[in-house]
Amino acid sequence: MSFNNRIGTFSSYDTMLRSLASRQKTLADAQEQVASGKRVIQSSDDPAAASLAERALQRIDRINSDLRALNVQKSNISLAESTLGDALSAMQRIRELTISAGNGSLDLSQQTAIANEIHSLRNTLLGYANRENSNGMPLFGGLGSAEQPFKETSSGVVYTGLSGQYSADANSIPYALDGYRTWMLSPTRDGVFDALFQVNQGNLRSTATTVQDLGSLRDTVYTIDFAPPGYVIKDDAGSTVASGTYNSGQSISFDGLALTVSGQPVSGDQLKLTPTYSIFQSLDKLVSALSAPATVNSKGQSISQALSAIDASMNLMQASRGQAGEYLNLADRIDTSLTARSDQLEKDRGQAVDLDMAEGISRLQTNQTAYEIALKSYAQFQKLTLFNYLD
């Protein structure tokens, strides 16, 4: 006979064992979660969360790498900025010395002493320009250079690096400043020309050139020939650039430049305007002018030309220094934003895979209790059999 509601003894033990095993597994999983602090231990626990956490981790690593690079950039630019500060102090001193050299009561030996100090400051400046960071990278290497971007050659100091600058972006500032823009002069950008008389039988004096129109500047040597009552200005190809009637103290303009010549010319007098390519070149000329007795050009003429170059150069250094300061501010903002992003990513990662400890522990306890109860009821159940009651 068979009843509708019978159960097999063997299978009921089997069912209970299966239930025990499954509770044991749940308990073991809960223990593993609490022990590791993670809700998602392998990817199959929650593939989307595991994948999100993995991506977040990679991005955090990348941000750390960018921050490390940013620190090097900050340290480079900061060193460059303070170097420019030192350079500007040196330039200030050079300026003072140059003006003091104009004192008419100085004799040659006193002038030479001033010239020597200027020369030594000039060498200090060159050292600043070639300064490197702790890794041997030049601070003013621009887009790339050999170890010493500013080289002494027979024709003066030459910038051997690549002029230009890397731009800053959302994650970085440049590693170096543009050396060309900081320490060199360009006739077509700065318009600094050295005006020296080749022949001055009259008593001509000239001021330094000033820039009237940037767009018209040219890189060429100008010669102004005086043939009273007029003058003719030619470039180095021999073409006439301008000509006119000479009036003492009146400004002469040509090719975007202007200068004022005073005094009375004698026919054959010639003023030559050579482009100045660097402050070093200008200082070298000043030093030789001060160390030797004046010949064609008066001391005053040399000094006024040098002062123009010094001022132009100081402007450039000041501008670079300002830009360095800008970059450092930007770096601070980048640092803050990268760090914030990294923190956010870490939070996202934690939310995805970390275990809420309170929830995890309470679940662990619940599972433990449930398992205990299951064990107890198994023990109770197997005592219940009719055979116990038959003698």
Q: Footprint of another protein on this chain (CB under 8 A)?
A: 1-2, 6-12, 14-15, 18, 42-48, 50-55, 57-58, 61-62, 64-66, 68-69, 72-73, 135-138, 141, 143-147, 160-169, 175, 180, 184, 186-189, 214-215, 219, 385-387, 390
Whole-Å CA distances, 249 to 13, 154, 187, 205, 261: 121, 37, 24, 9, 6
Toward another protein, which CB reaches closer, 3 or 107?
A: 3
Residues 214-217: contacts with CB under 8 Å, at least 24 apart: 214/188, 214/189, 214/256, 215/256, 216/255, 216/256, 217/187, 217/188, 217/189, 217/191, 217/255, 217/256, 217/257
d(CA 148, CA 161): 8
Shortest distance, CB of residue 261 to another protein, whole angstroms? Answer: 27
Contact 305/282 with Cβ under 8 angstroms? yes
Place of tokens 């205990």: 372
Toward another protein, which CB reaches closer, 28 or 108?
A: 28
Shortest distance, CB of residue 16 to another protein, whole angstroms? Answer: 12
Shortest distance, CB of residue 13 to another protein, whole angstroms? Answer: 8
Toward another protein, which CB reaches closer, 344 or 382?
A: 382
Toward another protein, which CB reaches closer, 175 or 254?
A: 175
Whole-Å CA distances, 121 to 25, 115, 127, 228, 338: 81, 10, 10, 42, 42
Shortest distance, CB of residue 208 to another protein, whole angstroms? Answer: 19
Q: Give the count of alpha carbons within 13 A of 266, CB side only.
A: 7
Toward another protein, which CB reaches closer, 36 or 264?
A: 36
d(CA 217, CA 220): 9
Toward another protein, which CB reaches closer, 53 or 290?
A: 53
Shortest distance, CB of residue 126 to another protein, whole angstroms? Answer: 19
Toward another protein, which CB reaches closer, 69 or 241?
A: 69
d(CA 79, CA 144): 18
Shortest distance, CB of residue 149 to another protein, whole angstroms? Answer: 9
Shortest distance, CB of residue 88 to another protein, whole angstroms? Answer: 22
Name the pairing type of β-strands 222-227 and 230-234. Answer: antiparallel
Residue 232 forms beta bridges with which residues? 225, 243
Whole-Å CA distances, 257 to 52, 127, 208: 64, 32, 10
**Burial classification of residue 278, based on how many CB atoms lie within 10 Å of its CB (0-12 exposed, 13-18 middle, 19 or more buried):** buried
Toward another protein, which CB reaches closer, 63 or 289?
A: 63
Shortest distance, CB of residue 325 to another protein, whole angstroms? Answer: 17
The DSSP symbol for 215 reads G
d(CA 202, CA 268): 10
**Burial classification of residue 206, based on how many CB atoms lie within 10 Å of its CB (0-12 exposed, 13-18 middle, 19 or more buried):** buried
Shortest distance, CB of residue 369 to another protein, whole angstroms? Answer: 24
Number of Cβ atoms within 10 Å of the Cβ of 309: 25
Shortest distance, CB of residue 162 to another protein, whole angstroms? Answer: 4
Toward another protein, which CB reaches closer, 237 or 390?
A: 390
Shortest distance, CB of residue 355 to another protein, whole angstroms? Answer: 15
Place of tokens 């956010």: 344
